[in-house]
Amino acid sequence: MGAPMTLNLLAHRPEGVPVTVHARSPERLAPLVTAGARAAGSLRELASASEAIILMLPDLPQITEVLAGPEGLLAGIERPTVLVVSSSVSPDGVRALAERLDADTAGLLRVVDAPVSGGTEGAEAGTLSIMVGGDAPTVARVTPVLATMGTPVHLGPLGSGQVAKACNQMIVAATMTAISEAAVIAERSGIDLAVLLPLLQAGYAGSRVLETKQDRLIRRDYTPTGVAAFMVKDLTAAAAEAARTATRTPQLDTVRTVFDDLVAAGLGPEDLAVVHRFVREH
C-alpha cells in the first residue's frame, strides 16, 4: 500500500515540495527514487527532514518499533511535525500513542489517524477513502498531502478514523463471507461462477467487494493483495468499540469466528478472498 500511495503523492504534490522515503529493504525504494523521492539513510534522518510523516505499517507494535531508538523517528523530531497513522489500529491504541508522543516530544509531534480503504487497487489509482481523526488545525496541515492519494474526510477527534475503519472492515468481512458462502453453494449446485458473479454484480447484490474479488473466486486465486489475517485485529477493534458503546453485534460476532477459524486453519497469509477456500474446505 505504501509504495503506490507514495507514487501518487510524488505525482500530485505541489511543485518543489520534497518527499523523503525510508524502508527496511532499500531496494524497494528504487521506483520511488526514480519518481523523484529522496531516500533517507535512517528513520531519524527521515524525521528531521519532514514536517509530516505518514506510516503504513501492520499495527501498533511496528509503529512503536520505528519510533524508538537512537536512529528512530522520535530522535529526529526537531520542529512541529505531524505523524499520520494510516495503519489500521485500535482507536484506544492510537489515542494512547498520541498522548505518549505529545509528552515525549514536549508537544512537537502531533498525531492524526488516517486509515484507508480501497485496497491496492485504490492505492494505485489514487482513489482511496481516507478516514481522518484528529484536531482540526493538525488535520488541516496534512489534508493536502492525503488528498494526493484519495479522498480524505475529517470525521472527528483522534481515533475517529480508526472507528470508521473498524466499521468499514465489519462490512467488508461480512460481505466477503456472504459472497464466499453463496459462491460455494452455487458451485456445488452446478452453476458456473464466471456466469453467476457478474450477474450478481449487476443487481442488488453488487458491491465493491464483489467487483474486485469475483475474478479471484472464479480462478481460485488467493495471492495476497490484502492479508486476510489482518482482518482479525480490525474486527477485534470493532468489537471493542461495540462493547464501549453498548452495541449488540450478532453479525460481527459471527464473522469474527469465521476469521479466527480461518487463521487457525493456516489461511491467514492469503488474500481476503481465501474465505472462499475456507468455506469450501472446512
Which amino acids are annotated catalytic? 165
B/e letters for 56-68, b = 16+ CB within 10 Å, e = fewer, are bbeebeebeebbe
Given the DSSP bridges, would you call strands 38-39 and 20-21 parallel, antiparallel or unpaired? parallel
Owner of C-alpha cell 533517507: 40
Residue (of 113, 255, 244) closest to 173 by Cα position: 255
> Residue 39, class by beta-carbon neighbours within 10 Å (0-12 exposed, 13-18 middle, 19+ buried)?
middle
Rg of the Cα atoms in the chain:
20
**In angstroms, rounded to a whole number, what is the distance separating the alpha carbons of residues 282 and 274?**
12
> For residues 211 and 201, is the Cβ–Cβ distance under 8 A?
yes
Place of cell 507514487: 7
| Contact criterion met (CB below 8 Å) for 152 and 132 | yes
Cα separation, 162 vs 208, in Å, equals 20
- With beta carbons less than 8 A apart as the criterion, state whether 6 and 34 touch: no
